[in-house]
Each structure stands twice: as structure tokens, then as C-alpha cells.
């Protein structure tokens, strides 16, 4: 292919008939209308599911349980509470646990 023959030649494009253009536009308008309806439905479902989750989470009551432990060590001992109600004392120590 040489550019001299192909580039200089003017190509004519056949115009689209008015009826075909109007048919395509009518089809696109119907598609856009369906997409808007779908968008409204999806937004309604999103709001409904979020409201359902808020209602579900509101069914539960948050309960805070606080436990206190007292451990006394003598002569540089170390008392460690591990969170399960068990207090370990290393070294010479005395442990007092409130129930």
C-alpha cells in the first residue's frame, strides 16, 4: 500500500437514514428509562438492608464486666494477671484474690 493512492482518495460515507436513527434513539431512551428504574430499586434495597442491619444490631445489649484483682508481692516478686482470673506470682509473694 502506498500512501499516495490511499491517503489522497476521498471516501464518502453513506448517511444514516432518519428512520434508523430514530429507531436507535427510541431504543436507547427505553434502555435509559429501565436503567433509572433499576437504580431506584437498587437504592431502595440498599437503604432497606442498612436499616435491617441497624435494627438487628439494636437487638443486643452491650454488657461490660469488670473484675478486679489484688496481688501483693514481697521481696521484689512479680505478680502477673493474665485476664482469665488467674494471677501468677513469681518470687516470694502473697496473693489476695477478690471473688
The predicted-structure confidence for 38-91, as pLDDT tens digits, reads as follows 999 999 999 999 999 999 999 999 888 877 767 666 666 666 666 565 555 555
Do the Cβ atoms of 98 and 86 come closer than 8 Å?
no
pLDDT number for residue 14: 84
Domain boundaries, the chain: 15-57, 64-99
Name the pTM for this structure. 0.49
72 near 91, Cβ under 8 Å? no
Amino acid at each position: 500500500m502506498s500512501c499516495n493512492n490511499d491517503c489522497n482518495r476521498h471516501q464518502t460515507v453513506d448517511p444514516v437514514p432518519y428512520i434508523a436513527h430514530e429507531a436507535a434513539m427510541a431504543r436507547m431512551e427505553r434502555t435509559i428509562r429501565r436503567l433509572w428504574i433499576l437504580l431506584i430499586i437498587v437504592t431502595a434495597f440498599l437503604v432497606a438492608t442498612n436499616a435491617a442491619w441497624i435494627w438487628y444490631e439494636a437487638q443486643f445489649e452491650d454488657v461490660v464486666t469488670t473484675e478486679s484483682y489484688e496481688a501483693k508481692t514481697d521481696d521484689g516478686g512479680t505478680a502477673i494477671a493474665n485476664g482469665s482470673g488467674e494471677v501468677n506470682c513469681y518470687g516470694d509473694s502473697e496473693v489476695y484474690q477478690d471473688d
